[in-house]
A and B are shown apart, each in its own frame.
Chain A
């Protein structure tokens, strides 16, 4: 029995709705519904997905998830979080129906959805949620969500509710609950969760799991989202070699492949039975200058270097057009509270030269550390940059570092290096991990008391308008004074057969925010 749902404007909360929901603390956000046209998605069929990063290290333990393969199959198909990231980047309730905060955003109460069942028939209880979060909080926790759960002081349960008390106020706390590690598993008697049996609340039940090889999932007929999922069966296959992955798609062994090589995009698009689906993501590739090391401690040098990079040229030549231009603001356009930071930095060697001259500098020489493992195309981009910067009287020495160990020996250590950022769901989290003075990954050595103050104020600001203003100011500071030179923002690039139907894809996490298994359908049945 399938429910026909019309697409009324009230269903998917807009970004404004999301902010208002947070501010009023009302929650009350409805489940995301799939807009079904008259002859919309039909149930049935199978999805076979070729992944590029599965590993034999993969386990069902949510604390260990690190690959898209586990994220898509376990977080997105087998399990649910309290909240869900919609394709447009806004937040909706999933296992939680609504949430509200106290005035200082210190205490968050989540009201659980009624009638949700685990795959073995057990009903979802507040204790399951509590234990699922506690799972990441132990003394010796090595969870990927450690930075998030460290913000939690205490978790309490009440009838149908889970109450989080935080160490300090955080207006973004519900958004952080969408982190893929924080999937909800059934609690064990006496504490802990039972992740070993692979039982979740998700749209699919686990049929088989061979780490690093394949994961097979079967439809959960009692899923709590009406009309979902569409597929009867989902199979996720690990195909690390990009040629083998493309061949698997071409020979019909799989329906979707992850991360198609940019050089093969035309090959895929030439085939009428295949398509390439691009989704703007948070991921951005940068050349980062350490603002506390000479010569980058001189704002004039930073500005000149920003103007000496021809972003369009690099996007056309290195990324074959498969990337978009950044504006030296690490926030992605798809994030809530993203702000335009004028002016757009563009290639202007004359202006760069003039700025240096005004600062009393007759040209400048810099060493740019790169490796192919910094980001794909980093060396080519750096070499182009060298030629472009030369016209501005800037000497860029491209230092090619060893691929292996780049992230341990070069990144955060050399004063001017190439970096690959996967981004964060919220601006607060993004800035707190990489841009405030005491952040652990401050690759630009950015020390700006004003910026730190703004981030701190925005963190507990529940009023969306004031919050937006604060974040706009913070982004403008990074644009004007920061050490990031954004080479490009990249998109997720899936190749699939035209038999796979889908709506707009979410880009905050790969594979439609990990939830493709329940959002997509077969168009050929």
Chain B
């Protein structure tokens, strides 16, 4: 028993180790990149009140007059103990980022719950009825929606459903104190847009993964044995295509956390992407760092899960010789 679970355990441990190393590198890159950006928090915040005197006073107050690597080391030390520090505006970083992260996760979860089963089902259908109407139809439409930039999809959705038909609100600005049904109603348009963006990618990859398995000799064998085509796809091909499907699903889920910036801006959704843009504009380094770490963690975490799934679903990887 132990020997069976061992390779996965050691793989997961080493992946987590590598993930932490990646996080460290990401944080270093972000911190130094922000330091090299022209402008500073003080001049951004003070705007046309930024006399040299006021800028100096504010930088002194925030400790920004120290070299960036000293600030980095101090930040890293605190972050290692779970303290993300204070935003330059004087609030703890987690109270700035926390509610935004919650909103982003809410939007991502609802979208994922709809998108993942739907995408896999449609992908399987395309593979099963390859070359038939549904396959051609979905291939064309998904190709189109992949090719359109997401902000255009968002504006088209908004123009048709909010401005012309007035079915849904154009602003998805959910706020504290709204009940869940109201929040859900406001979130319809961003969810719809995200679905259009990520469905296409996942459907096409699911279809491709299954079709590549369908080319294997054992599928031919199953057919020769008289298995019906639907059964061949679901029972023989799908389980062996889970690895690549899991990878593309993971990629899209990570995108839902870290890549939805544009959609958040268009629909005025108070998510973490907007928080990061805001922080970059004001050079609020602690908040930028926290957002970057969350994004990196999402990517690394989801990819780790995808790797584990593909190994568990593949006996050859599960029992290496």
Contacts and interface: CB of A to CB of B under 8 A. Distances in A.
Highest count of chain B CB atoms <10 Å: which of A56, A208, A238: A56
A36 B177 CA distance: 37
B49 A210 contact: no
Contacts of B287: 56
A213 B175 contact: yes
B117 to A, nearest CB: 31
B282 A57 contact: yes
Interface range for A: 35 or more
Contacts of A253: 169-171
B27 interface: no
Contacts of A266: none
A247 B45 contact: no
Contact of A59 (B58, B89, B266): B89
A440 interface: yes
A62 interface: no
State the majority secondary structure of interface residues on B.
Answer: helix
A237 B268 CA distance: 9
A409 interface: yes
A141 interface: yes
B39 interface: yes
Interface range for B: 35 or more
B170 to A, nearest CB: 4
Nearest to B96: A56
B61 A61 contact: no
Interface in B152-171: 155, 158, 162-163, 166, 169-171
Highest count of chain B CB atoms <10 Å: which of A141, A144, A250, A409: A144
A56 B170 CA distance: 22
A211 B96 contact: yes
A143 B281 CA distance: 20
B152 to A, nearest CB: 11
B54 A146 contact: yes
State the majority secondary structure of interface residues on A.
Answer: loop
A157 interface: no
B274 interface: yes
A404 interface: yes
Contacts of A250: 163, 170
A59 B96 CA distance: 11
B39 A404 contact: yes
B89 A147 contact: no
Given A57-B278, A66-B46, A408-B39, A244 B163 contact: no
Given A144-B49, A146-B54, A210-B175, A407 B39 contact: yes
Contacts of A247: 158, 162-163, 170-171
A264 B204 CA distance: 39
Given A57-B284, A250-B163, A405-B38, A213 B173 contact: yes
Contact of A241 (B48, B268, B281): B268
A141 B173 CA distance: 35
Contacts of B265: 240-241, 244
Contacts of A64: 45, 89-90
A422 B48 CA distance: 7
A251 B160 CA distance: 12
Highest count of chain A CB atoms <10 Å: which of B53, B158, B171, B268: B268
A55 B37 contact: no
Contacts of A409: 38
B3 interface: no
B61 A140 contact: yes
A145 interface: yes
A463 B266 CA distance: 54
Given A144-B49, A241-B268, A243-B266, A214 B54 contact: no
Interface string B46-66: 111101111001101100000
A400 interface: no
Interface in A401-451: 402, 404-405, 407-409, 421-422, 433, 440-441
Contacts of B279: 56
Interface of A: 55-59, 61, 64, 66, 140-147, 208, 210-214, 237-241, 243-244, 247-248, 250-251, 253, 402, 404-405, 407-409, 421-422, 433, 440-441
6 contacts: A56-B287, A57-B282, A144-B47, A146-B51, A210-B176, A238-B268
Interface of B: 37-40, 42-43, 45-49, 51-54, 57-58, 60-61, 87-91, 96, 99-100, 155, 158, 162-163, 166, 169-171, 173, 175-177, 265-268, 270, 274-275, 278-279, 281-282, 284, 287
